Amino acid sequence: MRLMTKNRKWLLGAAAIAIVGVGVLTRGFWGGGGAVAQAPTERVVTIDVAKAEKKMMPLTVDALGTVTPITSVAIKTRLDTEIVGVHFADGARVKKGDLLFTLDDRMLRAQIAQAEGVVARDKAQLEGAERDIARFTDLVAKSATPVVNLDNAKTQADIFRAAIKADGATLDNLKIQLGFCTIRASIDGRISAAAVKVGNFVRSADLVPLATINQVAPVYVSFPVPQDALPNIRQAVSGETATVDALVPGSGKRAAGQVTMIENAVDTTTGMVMVRATMANTDELLWPGTLVTTKVNIREEEAVTVPSTAMQVSQGGTFVFVIKDGKAAVTNVVLERTVGNTAVLKSGLQGGETVVTDGHLQLRNGSRVQVRVPKAGS
């Protein structure tokens, strides 16, 4: 028992000495005075940069618009008759005065011939009545006939004159209706597909038009804008500087025009006001009914700009990292608008500052930075 107790005491003592030695070594390793300890080095972040520039930038308003024809004509018949000719290709471009449809006019021509015969008869009867007036006038002067015969001849002549006038009006009406048998284009534009073919019977009461012509050059582009943009647009319209660019989806092409109308009231339910631009559209790039992206160019004004990639967002608002003395500093800015890949600032920078455009994720306020050297040819 005594031997076991002495061995246990010896083991406990050895263990205590070992713990103290480990503590001393550990302290020497982690402590500031040891030869092994080193001061931590500050991390350097590699970044891309750009300059904040003060330059003239366009003030624009973007909106989604619709192309509408200035004039649209629905072609309908005024007669109940048969189609005997269609003189255009579906979807063709037509000019004012071009012949489009021919209707059956045989019945009208027969009625016109009948009316012309009635007019000729009335004229012959009027000539006979005028001869009677001349004869009775001589006889009354010689007291060879009663005056009543002369009066009756004059009355008969007046009746024939009235008949000629009425029959002439009937003849003119028939000739006008005969003109309705040839339907011509009343405007320049693009015509739709014909709703009828040769042999179809058409009526003036039909609701569906025979075809429709849309004017395509020039055309309107109508689009809504927020009411807070209205003062700037009205000012530009007064100065005739409110130009509009319309981007056609799928083509990448733009059509230019001018703002020509602002609706006389703001929609109280949406806070938007409708604006209309007139586009020359000589190349027919804009097609009626197409949705287009419009950009209203109001004016140009001087502003501080940075690449859009420099803009960062936090709970406190928008900011950029400005490089000064090899360190990144958080600088709060107010974004006014974005034009393409350029951010236009309302406040925060004066121009000429170096801002970070890439490498934000590793940055914090005060981080040391190193500008990445651009590759050859980039």
Do the domain assignments include residue 30? no
* Residues 276, 158 share a domain: no
* Residues 312, 197 share a domain: no
* Residues 159, 288 share a domain: no
Which CATH number covers residue 332? 2.40.420.20
d(CA 65, CA 293): 6
Tell me the CB-side half-sphere exposure of residue 213, using CA atoms within 13 A: 24
pLDDT for the residue 249 = 82
Do the domain assignments include residue 335? yes
| Angle in degrees, CA 317, 321, 327, rounded to 5 | 140
Do the domain assignments include residue 10? no
Which CATH number covers residue 266? 2.40.30.170
Answer with the one of 120, 154, 180 that is the final residue of a domain.
180
* Residues 113, 88 share a domain: no
Answer with the one of 301, 329, 361 that is the final residue of a domain.
301
pLDDT for the residue 227 = 92
Do the domain assignments include residue 5? no
* Residues 168, 190 share a domain: no
* Residues 110, 85 share a domain: no
Structural domain boundaries enclosing 56: 46-60+302-371
pLDDT for the residue 123 = 93
- In b/e form, how buried is each residue of 268-277, taking b as 16+ CB within 10 angstroms? eeeebbbbbb
Q: Which amino acid is at 163?
A: A
Do the domain assignments include residue 21? no
Of residues 89, 72, 99, the one with CA closest to residue 189:
72
Do the domain assignments include residue 378? no
Report the number of distinct structural domains present in the chain. 4
Do the domain assignments include residue 83? yes
* Residues 350, 297 share a domain: no
pLDDT for the residue 375 = 61
Q: Average pLDDT for consecutive 10-residue bins of the chain (378 residues)?
A: 48 53 45 46 82 88 93 95 95 95 95 95 92 88 86 92 94 95 95 95 95 95 93 89 88 90 93 95 92 90 90 89 89 87 88 89 87 66
pLDDT for the residue 36 = 44
* Residues 223, 292 share a domain: yes
* Residues 307, 328 share a domain: yes
Do the domain assignments include residue 11? no
* Residues 126, 94 share a domain: no
d(CA 327, CA 365): 8
Answer with the one of 277, 301, 325 that is the final residue of a domain.
301
**Share in percent of the chain as helix, strand, coil (round to 5):** 30, 35, 30
Residue 219: enclosing H or E segment and its boundaries? strand 219-226
Q: Which amino acid is at 210?
A: L
119 CB-near residues (< 8 Å, 6+ apart): 164, 167, 168, 171
d(CA 286, CA 248): 7
